[in-house]
Structure 1
């Protein structure tokens, strides 16, 4: 099974725990991940046409702020209104809106643009005050920032010349989309919203810059890794493995946690009584896959100072997932 060391390749989990291990609240940890995790795409890669942004974070500031927030997380919990979330993307947006509000840059979050007949044309994830490289603020214009937090599994296709990869071979676990489709939609459509006449009428300040902030994890089967630079991926992006449930049974004995959707962002830190051995995990997955085919994200954990600490993560998929993913590619 693939392993992914960091610097250049030690697993991201280790560096995250080094920096943020003192945080205990799940939602504060998720916010720390959003602020600190590597970008999924390389902003300087030519294929992104300068449309991929990155956060400029003062880590001295946020370290103390997150420490205080972790000690008293109730304001964040109230802001999130956790019972209202069914989508991980919306959860991540609310976390980032909390940060931008505290930072003082947030002008608007989730602003919908409507046409003359009140039809929805699009939505701005974030409109922000921003400064240029010299620190000059742009009082007459705003930054339009689109946030995407995505999880994709690389499906391998065997062609005439052997293995081949592409952005459209990174497929969502539910087979609903691909990384290629998502990035094209963001660049070609969502980031263009500020140029729409209806948006220009609605906004009191013009959009001076539009960028996409793309965070997430990519998952690879066994030791197969594409050329990150060729695809425009950030070399240090967060990564894990995927395997079928049959392949899981052949793994060495390890300790696992099943990660619910709102725990997918940051490396997990949980209580030891939640840990499953391979036998119990496999049993739970077989029972689940009898009724639904959605892959399950699990964390491999080790005990540390009374907690189960994530050291690796991966999607466990039904045995026929690869074939269904191929059918999804072929239907594009």
Structure 2
């Protein structure tokens, strides 16, 4: 394991695991939930730091904590039943809630920062002003307020390098609006005067924990807005009308991805495919399966390795033919 960037003692500089080491680790983890947790902790941030308020959260502060986290993930992969029990305790349908449960598990049981409180509501005169996702304390004693988000945005612009061109699949979310809400509302919550009454004495240092994937129209490579981390996860999107030609050029097996599989790249053993009844199809069949879905559908292509495992090769969205025009209109609102 190597670190792309390591902080000196007492520094708040980011410590990141390089992409090759991260991908090597993910290739050795077999349990889907543990892989998703590892991706959440180790994947590249979607954003660069946004000073003065928007510092980035770090899953660990030292190389020793990073190595301990990797060892812990491998041990959890060998016996993931306690994590499965935690996730099954309540029904989870949203990607964000799933990520919260995973990160909460790490903060309660992992070898790095420790959980102080989660989902802390802030109220004034009976009115809820907001909720702090996580209050944590590092092994070095820093007290941090983390705001977590896992987002999938599609680039709907015409070559401009603007964060407003990244829109949610269902056109109910936009990256520039989300970032503004995080910076101007969510992160300042723990510094508000009313926060002193919730029982968790500060001061707390606010940080954003924003992971996810950004998807670009197939064949287009627009410039990145300055806010983005260049290492962010990338996928593609095509219209239903363009899908036959796209699919004809890709002979892999395909599968639509349900929302709770939108985190780490997927990999499936032959036993898992059989026991879970997973269906992998050709591109033409996939088109028929997604034709009547309302809105964009996330899909992934898979290749088979020498052991018969199905490994995700790429992921993207198939969008309705009218979606690009609607998305550009939404991006310019």
Which TM-score band applies after superposition, normalised by the shorter structure? 0.7 to 0.9
Work out whether 1:307 is the aligned partner of 2:303. no
* Structure 1 residue 52, shift from structure 2 partner: 3.0
Aligned twin of 1:225: 221
Aligned twin of 1:198: 194
Match of 1:173 among 166, 169, 175: 169
Cα displacement string for residues 147-198 of structure 1 (whole angstroms, at most 9, x for unaligned residues): 11100000023xxxxx323101100001111110000000011011112222
* Structure 1 residue 283, shift from structure 2 partner: 1.0
Cα displacement string for residues 71-121 of structure 1 (whole angstroms, at most 9, x for unaligned residues): 2211111222365212110110110011111135100011111222x2211
Residue 250 of structure 1 aligns to a residue whose secondary structure is helix
Work out whether 1:21 is the aligned partner of 2:27. yes
Give the 3 Å change call, closer, same or farther, for CA 74–130 of structure 1 in structure 2: same
Comparing both chains, which one has the higher relative contact order based on Cα–Cα distances under 8 Å and sequence gaps of 6 or more?
1
Q: 1:155, 1:171 within 8 Å by CA — same for their partners in 2? A: yes
Residue 151 of structure 1 aligns to a residue whose secondary structure is strand
* Structure 1 residue 317, shift from structure 2 partner: 0.7
Runs of 4+ in 1 over 4 A off after TM superposition: 12-17
Residue 147 of structure 1 aligns to a residue whose secondary structure is strand
Aligned twin of 1:156: 157
**What is the rounded CA distance, in whole Å, between the counterparts of 1:285 and 1:173 in structure 2?**
14
Question: Which runs of no fewer than 5 residues in structure 1 stay unpaired?
Answer: 1-6, 158-162
* Structure 1 residue 50, shift from structure 2 partner: 4.9
Cα displacement string for residues 239-291 of structure 1 (whole angstroms, at most 9, x for unaligned residues): 011111121110213321211111100000125653111111011111x23xx
**What is the rounded CA distance, in whole Å, between the counterparts of 1:148 and 1:283 in structure 2?**
32
**What is the rounded CA distance, in whole Å, between the counterparts of 1:188 and 1:226 in structure 2?**
28
Give the 3 Å change call, closer, same or farther, for CA 83–202 of structure 1 in structure 2: closer
* Structure 1 residue 56, shift from structure 2 partner: 4.2
Aligned twin of 1:54: 57
Question: TM-score normalized by structure 2?
Answer: 0.84
Q: 1:41, 1:232 within 8 Å by CA — same for their partners in 2? A: yes
Work out whether 1:126 is the aligned partner of 2:134. yes
Aligned twin of 1:182: 178
Alignment of 1:19-168 (within 5 A): 19-43=25-49, 47-57=50-60, 58-81=65-88, 83-103=90-110, 105-116=114-125, 118-130=126-138, 135=140, 137-138=141-142, 142-157=143-158, 163-168=159-164
* Structure 1 residue 300, shift from structure 2 partner: 1.3
Work out whether 1:279 is the aligned partner of 2:281. no
* Structure 1 residue 69, shift from structure 2 partner: 1.3
Aligned twin of 2:242: 247
**What is the rounded CA distance, in whole Å, between the counterparts of 1:70 and 1:233 in structure 2?**
31
Q: 1:170, 1:179 within 8 Å by CA — same for their partners in 2? A: yes
Q: 1:245, 1:285 within 8 Å by CA — same for their partners in 2? A: no
Give the 3 Å change call, closer, same or farther, for CA 281–271 of structure 1 in structure 2: farther
Aligned twin of 2:325: 323
Give the 3 Å change call, closer, same or farther, for CA 257–165 of structure 1 in structure 2: same
Aligned twin of 1:4: none
**What is the rounded CA distance, in whole Å, between the counterparts of 2:85 and 2:79 in structure 1?**
12
Aligned twin of 2:264: 266
Question: TM-score normalized by structure 1?
Answer: 0.84
